[in-house]
Amino acid sequence: MNSNENNDMLRAALQRRAERMAPAKGWEQRVIAETTGRQRRRWLKWPAISGAAAAVAAIVIALLTPNASEPPTPEQQPVIAMTEPPRPIAVAQNKGAAPQKESAEAPEAPAPRRRVAATKELPEEPAPSTQIDVIINELEIEESMTVEQELAALFAMAETETEIFSAFATSFDDIDPIIFSTYIIELQ
Amino acid sequence: MLIAGLRRGDRRALSEALSRYGRLVSSVVGAMTSDPRDAEELTQDAFIRAFGAIKSFDSNESALSTWLARIAYNAAVDHLRRRGVRPAEDVSDTLPEPATEEPELLPELLDEALERIDATERAALQLVYFDGMSLDEAAYVLDTNANALSTRLYRIRTKLARIINELKRKQ
């Protein structure tokens, strides 16, 4: 028996074995799904990190200034004016002889005028409670879609990293990326 | 084009690469395991590993096919190590030159003999005799050199012949 015959027999035996070990149909789909899923997760890492920081910052700001984004009710305006009378009058009553000098050196400088002025400049319509609400409203008005639908459509259309990235840039270029990243976290 | 598409993560490029090289990769990992489920899982893992590292592929160093085969081989070796199987070391360089006489292989016992040799030895045979790789290409996959691989292939064939003879005596 010559070497070529041996090679043929060996090749045939290896082929039989390879056929026994061949993966079942459909194995390619898992590879594609896993690979594209990893790419998306890699792209979503940066909003996850910055979004978490943004979420914490938003909560802290909301706790520290609970009424900052809400207009004062009509009942609140006179209360502010009545409970904090102009400072010079109070200084004049307490210090007597040198009211102007003491007034000028007062370490605290509450700004009742500024508060009143701010109250006057508030918009007539109540503002949304958070900036996220603003984004939701804008998206619904402009796209007639929820953010979830918008992103679902975005992911469905964008198949590559480049496409996802450019879609982020074009579709959401008018949105603060930190706020947008908060959405990504909520959707995950 | 295909490599550029893979680097972009293009779904069509992924699909084409799987179609074009799926048989090769499954052949390499299939040679190193005796369980079809393990072979399927290793094939998938090898491709996922390769696509994840596609940016490190250098077309000046190797063809995409041999690069994929090498990743598949390494994935299978890792799998064997996790299972506690220690792949045979390549000792071709330390052994004397084999005799020039070609051993006789008997087809009826060859299938069983292939199951009795080491997984890495089967992979070497698979790459050269089934996948049709050159000695240089197969040596790249197995992380050795062509001369050592040539010697090793002859020893594997001699080993197969010895196993077949033993099986014949037992019959």
Q: Interior CA angle at A176 toward A174 and A180, to 5°?
A: 100
Pairwise CA distance, residues A20 & A25, whole Å: 13
3-state class of B118 per DSSP? coil
Q: In the structure, what pLDDT confidence band is assigned to residue A105 with cuts at 50, 70 and 90? A: very low
Which CATH number is correct for B92-170, 1.10.10.10, 1.20.1540.10, 2.40.50.100, 3.40.718.10?
1.10.10.10
Tell me the H-state helices in chain B. 2-8, 11-31, 36-52, 64-82, 107-116, 119-125, 135-142, 146-170
Q: Provide CB contacts within 8 A for A139, sequence distance 6+.
A: A145, A146, A147, A150
**Residue A98 pLDDT > 70:** no
CB-CB neighbors (< 8 A) of A3 in chain B: 102
Compare CB distances from B30 to A3, A22, A38 and report the shortest one's residue: A22
pLDDT of amino acid B9: 87
Residue of chain A minimizing CA distance to B112: A13
ipTM computed for the complex = 0.87
pLDDT of amino acid A64: 77
Q: Is A104 on the interface with B (CB under 8 A)?
A: no
What CA dihedral angle connects B27, B28, B31 and B33, to 10 degrees? -110
Q: In the structure, what pLDDT confidence band is assigned to residue A109 with cuts at 50, 70 and 90? A: very low
Mutation to test the A interface, candidates B32, B48, B163, most A Cβ within 10 Å: B48
Buried b (16+ CB within 10 A) or exposed e, A72-96: eeeeebeeeeeeeeebeeebeeeee
Query: What angle do the packed helices A76-83 and A112-120 form, to 10 degrees?
Result: 160
CB contact under 8 A, A22 and B36: yes
Q: In the structure, what pLDDT confidence band is assigned to residue B125 with cuts at 50, 70 and 90? A: very high
pLDDT of amino acid A104: 41
Q: Is A35 on the interface with B (CB under 8 A)?
A: yes
The full set of domain ranges for chain A reads: 31-69+126-187, 76-120
Mind listing the pLDDT tens digit for each residue in A33-79? 888 887 666 666 666 667 777 888 888 888 777 565 566 566 555 55
The full set of domain ranges for chain B reads: 2-82, 92-170
**Residue B147 pLDDT > 80:** yes
Task: Name the residue type at position A43.
Answer: W
Task: Name the residue type at position B168.
Answer: K
pLDDT of amino acid B118: 94
Mind listing the pLDDT tens digit for each residue in B149-161? 999 999 999 999 8
pTM as predicted? 0.57
Q: Which fold has domain B2-82?
A: Rna Polymerase Sigma Factor; Chain: A (1.10.1740)
Q: CA B23: distance to chain centroid?
A: 12
Query: What angle do the packed helices A177-187 and A147-157 form, to 10 degrees?
Result: 90
CB contact under 8 A, A39 and B9: yes
Residue of chain A minimizing CA distance to B17: A28
pLDDT of amino acid A4: 80
pLDDT of amino acid A169: 52
Mind listing the pLDDT tens digit for each residue in B65-102? 999 999 999 999 999 999 887 666 554 444 444 554 55
Smallest CA–CA distance, residue B148 to chain A, in Å, is: 19
Cα–Cα distances (Å) from B156 to B81, B120, B126, B160, in that order, read: 22, 10, 12, 6
